[in-house]
Structure 1
Amino acid sequence: MGTEPRLGSKVFYKIGEVSQLTKLPAYVLRFWESQFTFLKPKKSRGNQRLYVQRDIETVLEIKRMLYEEGHTLDGVKRYWVRRGRAASRRLRPREIAKKLRGDLQVILKIIDSHSS
């Protein structure tokens, strides 16, 4: 048997790996993509979904809100709309730096994987 994927162990994850990490069926992940405009994994040339760590963290937060806190799909959508608006108005320097650092780490991993 192969080893199970671990969050943070690579840059891109296919939908099957995300399904294992989040313990959600792939059809749920595809459905959520159709419902939540902010959940848009990249697509490979072969049209496979490629999730990054931030996408997986978003999936886990949606899962928590729906399954543990009992929110509806519409409630989760409203929350993310409000969160997006609030975040765009009040980004703190520390949050910006954290986001940039994460983005740079992804870029460095991509560069490292292509240089070896």
Structure 2
Amino acid sequence: MGTEPRLGSKVFYKIGEVSQLTKLPAYVLRFWESEFSFLKPKKSRGNQRLYVQRDIETVLEIKRMLYEEGHTLEGVKRYWARRGRAAAKLPPREVAKKLRGDLQAILKIIESHSP
């Protein structure tokens, strides 16, 4: 089937690739999407899930919290809710700084795929 996907080597990843990267079954990823409102990969015209690097990082963080740290699903939901409220309270300058960093990371990905 070829080489295994590497995180950061593509812009979009299908659920099978994310399953390989995270070593989680696809049904777990679909279940987590139904449980965690913040985990919503885009869908293609053919209704295939298209994960970006940030989605995969979120999946890996959820996996760590559940499997390594022993949190419950409800505990992870509360953590992310608090995290979202904390981010909403950031001053505009900090939000701009974070956005700038995110955009620079996206630019690096795009540039790495340019001929």
TM-score past 0.5 threshold: yes
CA deviation string 1:66-94 (max 9, x = no partner): 00000000000000000100111x43678
CA distance in 1, matches of 2:101, 2:59: 18
Confirm or deny: 8 A CA contact 2:8 2:109 kept in the other structure.
no
RMSD over aligned Cα atoms: 2.8
Q: Which runs of 5+ in 2 are unaligned?
A: none
The 4+ residue runs of structure 1 with deviation greater than 2 A are: 90-116
Question: Number of aligned pairs?
Answer: 115
TM-score (normalizing by structure 2) = 0.84
CA distance in 2, matches of 1:92, 1:107: 23
Larger relative contact order (Cα-Cα within 8 Å, sequence gap ≥ 6): 2
**Do the aligned partners of residues 115 and 23 (structure 1) sit closer, same or farther apart at CA in structure 2, a change above 3 Å counting?**
closer
CA deviation string 1:24-83 (max 9, x = no partner): 000000000000000000000000000000000000000000000000000000000001
